[in-house]
Amino acid sequence: EAGVTQSPTHLIKTRGQQATLRCSPISGHTSVYWYQQALGLGLQFLLWYDEGEERNRGNFPPRFSGRQFPNYSSELNVNALELEDSALYLCASRRSSTDTQYFGPGTRLTVL
């Protein structure tokens, strides 16, 4: 069974630009979670999508947004990039009948 996949692996942007990160969940998983992990810091919850709807969001400004597609894949968009947005962005997926989350390899975003 294929795991959670994320693309791209690395992304370099400059301040003010927009970044788009993508995630494909494990087959059969309907929930997708996005987390931010800045260097040396813990996981910060960003967004949760389930069945195509945004169900919850963490304490992040509105310029962090996303969506979930009918095939349950998801996209995270970060607008008006700031230097402090540089981090590892992690996607995790979950089957509806369980509470176990499985993580993808992450996208390393660098904002110059």
Partner 1 sequence: QKEVEQNSGPLSVPEGAIASLNCTYSDRGSQSFFWYRQYSGKSPELIMFIYSNGDKEDGRFTAQLNKASQYVSLLIRDSQPSDSATYLCAVNRGNAGNMLTFGGGTRLMVKP
Which of 36, 68, 94, 109 forms a contact with partner 1 (CB under 8 A)? 94
CB 60 within 8 A of CB 79: no
CB 65: neighbour CB atoms within 10 A? 16
**Hey, which residues between 12 and 31 contact partner 1 (CB under 8 A)?**
31
Which of 45, 65, 75, 86 forms a contact with partner 1 (CB under 8 A)? 45
9-17, 18-26, 49-57, 76-84 -> range binding partner 1 (CB under 8 A): 49-57
The residues binding partner 1 (CB under 8 A) are 31, 41-43, 45, 48, 50, 55-56, 88, 90, 94, 98-106
